[in-house]
Structure 1
């Protein structure tokens, strides 16, 4: 049987883009058990409360919910366990330095399969204040209204 090809997104954290200003992104592998992989292949996961941290030179992903696999037995995994991230030493050191500056956190943006291997896209992010969130929403709404006005003007002009 041939290996899997391509990119299959399992879960995205859309709320993270609203709540944080994304500074930098990095792709990391995950250390998973068999039932976790099967549950992910079924397309079930939630990144909403998830975060990552660096502890003793190792990167960890915590509070990501991968539900219990339905056909699993005693080999099933705890849904919100701590999972190790696979990164190069330089990447871990860079992330740890950025997070230690203060105000920055590591947030998972998406969980996906890339050529058959489970990956997570991490972002070095800074929390937005409430007025920043409102400003972003206002800018997006103004841009949408301007595009709508241009479309109607172009239709009437033809």
Structure 2
């Protein structure tokens, strides 16, 4: 069985040499060792030295040569908009108080779709839209990385 032993951040590996792709939801992009299948259905073992977040465009180096390109799978998300930065900060506080993984973008907060949380957000005055998009939440203050959109080798806690 093929074995992926190293992950390289997007832009730091020979993307033209990718032998295939592997499309994964966020939970499957934060692993150390697991049996997976690439997008062609061919199995491989992800066998990294430590768990790390695999971001869209990262490369998995295969033992004995070859590469797989990581693709972030679209997931069902709630995209939250507010009237002004102060309201968005208040909503972010409520989400953080519940220890929910969130992703920040310009003027929006995204989180996994949860009808109970969506109802709470509506009650707080937020505008919530369902979207299908890749999800890469913030990694947290104690994970060793600066944010979910940066490649890092630290742990990740929810």
Larger Rg: 1
More strand by share: 2
TM over 0.5: no
Q: Which has the higher contact order (CA 8 A, sep 6+)?
A: 1
TM-score normalised over the length of structure 2:
0.21
